[in-house]
Homo-oligomer: A and B are copies of this chain.
C-alpha cells in the first residue's frame, strides 16, 4: 500500500513533467530523452514507470477526459436555464484551460494526429461524449426558445470550444484579466454578442 505510494507519486510526477514537455514541443517531436532530462533521470529509467511513450500520454488523457465528462454531466444534471447552463459550461472550459493547460494544449494541437494512432483511438469516443454534453445543453436552449434556432448545436459547440482553447496560447491567468472575468467575457461574447444593445 504505502510501499507503492512512493512509486505511484513518482509516476504521477513523471506524467506531469511529460505532459508539459508534450504540450510544449508537440507529442510527435518531444522525445523520451527530453522527458527524462526534465525529470532528472535517464531515458531508460522512464520505462521503470511506464511501458511506452504512448502509455504516458494515454494515461494522462484518460484522466483528463474522465474528469471532464464527470464535471460536464454534473452541470447538465442541474436544473438551471439554458443560458446559465451554457455560461457554466464555458466557465468549466476556462477552468480546465487554466488548471490543466498541458492536456488542453495537447488535445488542441495533436488531436488530429493522435486519433489516427491505435492506442489513442479512445479519444474519438471521449471527445464525442464531451460534445454530446455540450450539444444537449445547447439544444435545450433552442427547444425552450432561449437560443436562436438557425444556428446549429454542433456549429455552436465547435465555435465555443475552439474559442476557449484558442485563447490558451495567449491568455495569462495571472495577468490583468482574472479567471472569473475571463469566463464572463467569453460567455457574454457568445450569449449576447459583440454589438451594443
**A156 at interface by CB-CB < 8 Å:** yes
The segment out of A5-13, A46-54, A158-166 that lies at the interface is A158-166
**Are B151 and A113 in contact, with the CB atoms below 8 A?**
no
Given A185-B155, A193-B191, A196-B145: A166 and B162 within 8 A (CB)?
Answer: yes
**Are B112 and A169 in contact, with the CB atoms below 8 A?**
yes
Cα distance A148–B16 in the bound complex, in angstroms = 40
Cα distance A155–B182 in the bound complex, in angstroms = 9
The segment out of A21-29, A34-42, A68-76 that lies at the interface is A21-29
Q: Which residues of A contact B (CB under 8 A)?
A: 24-26, 28-29, 83, 86, 105, 109-113, 116, 141, 145-148, 150-152, 154-156, 158-167, 169-171, 177, 182, 185-186, 188-196
